[in-house]
Chain A
Amino acid sequence: MRARATPFPWLGLFALWTALAALQCAQASSADASAKPSAAEASAKPLPAQDARKWLARIHSAAHERNYQGTLVFSADGALSSARVAHFSEGGQSYERVEVLDGRMQQIYRHNDRVLTLWPLTRVAVVEERDPRQASLRPVIEPRAEEYYEVREQATEHVAGREAKVLLLSPRDANRYAQRLWVDSRSGLVLRADVLGARQQVLESSAFSQVEIDVKPRPQTVLQPMKHLEGYRLVRPAPQPAKLDSEGWSLGATVPGFQLSNCTRRPLDPADGATSQPSVLQAVFSDGLTHVSLFVEPIDRARHTRALLTQTGATQTFMQSHGDGWWVTVIGDVPAQTLKQFHQALERRR
């Protein structure tokens, strides 16, 4: 009895402490709220499906049909890189130029389905002629993404000197990340895109630091570099269309929302040039906003030594053996759990 009575004199001090701490917490949270106005807006009601689909369709068509050029800055894990981007659409033809200005200085030139990737430091040129039948299978923003993400309109802000509407796309389940998009009010072009983790922290961000929209199309600035390849070693990888089931695989319970959009058998790194390179089976799945690659290959004990889970920016990688003889690698801008679901759903049928 006596022993239990002793804490009571301290109760007053505890109560005081509690009150003080509670006050401080309240202050801290109100400070957070004022620093992040979006927190209040995040509770705004999601757009009706029809409006959300309209936004997604507008974003998609602006990216494909507008003529624009600018500098895109990409940041992830504290590292920063930038790329000069130009996109022209003229007479039903589409031209694209992306010149990464840092690191390996990769340059991508695209005319419709013909993609040329240059690695100027190693003088390797990779030419890809995409199968026109697969043109519609490109990873794009699809209106059906609305089924897996709630779309909310947030504040109006400025990016690269232009007025942009902020859209928050929050996932309806834990299988994907949220994205915050800054969409140009006049054209519908995405000026900035952040991928957000489970605690709304920014995993990676890409934004135009400078952009001109509705410029005069100059297709020659894309076509010319595609012709002048002196001094480059030309590599023409030929990914073979493939099917999971004819390769002896099937997916049991697939991850909700992810549909198979492409499946090929290809060398892993075409720019390596080694013809003896073993090929891998790559199946790409999309939920209308983001995509996941599943690679399957026979296990090579020399290279495939350890199961691995790692993350770069928003991109997670999970690799592990499958059965006795196979090695499976799953990559995508989704939580690790989603990648593991793909790995578990994969079944060998023969």
Chain B
Amino acid sequence: MKNEQPDANDPCWLLSAMVDSEADPADIARGCAAWAGADERTRQGWHAYHLIGDVLRSEDLASTPAHDAAFLQRLSARLDREPAVLAPTPLPVATRRRPAWVAPAALAASVAALATVLVVAIGPSGGSGQAPGLAAGPGAPTQVAARDAAAPAGAATAVAEGVPLGGRVVRDAQLDRYLRAHRDYATAVPGSLPGGPGRSIATVSLER
């Protein structure tokens, strides 16, 4: 049987090679480019390879190529509507200095406290196995859950709230115009007043 000479530019061959881990980096780059180019044949090929694998595992996994494309479109539309939160720079001040082992120690303490609550709550009820123990039983998990919920929530707000986003990260001329227009309004007040014109917006980069 004649050994078929593969066409290295055939996107389907590229994808096949990628799936089989036979593609070199250049092939992978070309394969990805072909797929990203939304070439219908390539997408169908890519989908067919996966469909074969999926159906071999379970017929429930079978779907049409349009299914993936529709999902991607919906996802990208949703992403477009989300406000972009620009990446924060580290907070220069604020954070308290503590020895590095305090945090683990505090964590250990809360684990210990939790364990104590668990042991105290479960211990007697488990030990006695009596009806009063059942009454205490449901109380214990909620108490633990409340502690559990409180700690991460506090930590999350501490990170999300009021972290300054570095002015110099914002490289958006458009944004800078609004900021300047906002501060224009303050040019008529004495420079010494809080929020007065002494506040430079040089931290935002726009050279004009």
Residues on A lying within 8 angstroms of B by beta carbon are 1, 4, 7-8, 10-11, 14-15, 17-18, 20-22, 24-25, 28, 32, 59-60, 63-64, 68, 72, 74, 76-79, 81, 83, 85, 87, 96, 98, 100, 102-104, 106, 108, 110, 113, 115, 117, 119, 121-122, 128, 130, 138-141, 179, 181, 189-190, 193, 195, 197-199, 201-204, 206, 208, 262, 266, 268-269, 271-272, 280, 282, 284, 289-291, 293, 295, 303, 306-313, 315, 317-320, 329, 331-333, 335
Residues of B within 8 A of A290 (CB): 195
Contact A268-B177, Cβ < 8 Å, known A87-B192, A306-B84, A332-B182:
yes
A24–B177 CA distance with the chains assembled, in angstroms: 49
From residue A187, how far is it (CB to closest CB) to chain B in Å?
10
- A204–B84 alpha-carbon span in the complex (Å): 23
Question: At the interface with chain A, which of B43-51, B132-140, B197-205?
Answer: B197-205
By beta carbon, the residue of chain B nearest A97 is B191
B52 within 8 A of A: no
Subset of 10 A-B contacts with CB under 8 Å: A21-B106, A72-B198, A76-B203, A78-B166, A117-B187, A122-B208, A204-B199, A291-B185, A313-B167, A317-B175
- A311 contacts across to B, CB distance below 8 A: 163-165
* In the complex with contacts A4-B126, A18-B113, A77-B92, A140-B193 CB distance below 8 A: yes
Task: Give the nearest-CB partner of A309 in chain B.
Answer: B83
Say yes or no: B164 contacts A76, CB within 8 Å.
yes
Chain B residues contacting A309 (CB-CB under 8 Å) are: 83-86
A81 to B201, CA, bound (A): 9
CB nearest to B90 among chain A residues: A78
* A190 neighbours in B (Cβ, 8 Å): 192-194
Question: Is A310 within 8 A of B197, CB to CB?
Answer: no
Select one of B80, B112, B126 contacting A18, CB under 8 A.
B112
Report the minimal beta-carbon distance from A76 to chain B, rounded to whole angstroms. Answer: 6
- Give the docked Cα–Cα distance between A134 and B84 (Å): 36
Quote the shortest CB–CB distance from A56 to chain B (angstroms): 11
Inter-subunit contact B185/A202 (CB<8 Å): no
Enumerate chain B residues within 8 angstroms of A179, measured Cβ to Cβ.
Answer: 194
A253 to chain B, nearest CB (A): 21
Contact indicator A81/B194 (Cβ below 8 Å): no
Taking A291-B195, A311-B165 as contacts, is the C-beta distance between A83 and B200 under 8 angstroms?
A: yes
**How far apart are A130's CB and chain B's nearest CB, in angstroms?**
6
CB distance from A343 to the nearest CB of B (A): 10
Name the residue on A nearest B119 (C-beta).
Answer: A7
B185 contacts A11, C-beta separation under 8 Å: no
Q: Knowing A78-B89, A104-B207, A140-B189 are in contact, say whether A4-B122 is a contact too (CB < 8 A).
A: yes
Inter-chain contact B188/A130, CB cutoff 8 Å: yes
Query: Are B122 and A308 in contact (CB-based, < 8 A)?
Result: no
Find out whether the CB atom of B109 lies under 8 angstroms from the CB atom of A21.
Answer: yes
Tell me whether B194 and A14 are in contact (CB under 8 A). Answer: no
A138 (CB) vs chain B CBs: closest residue:
B188
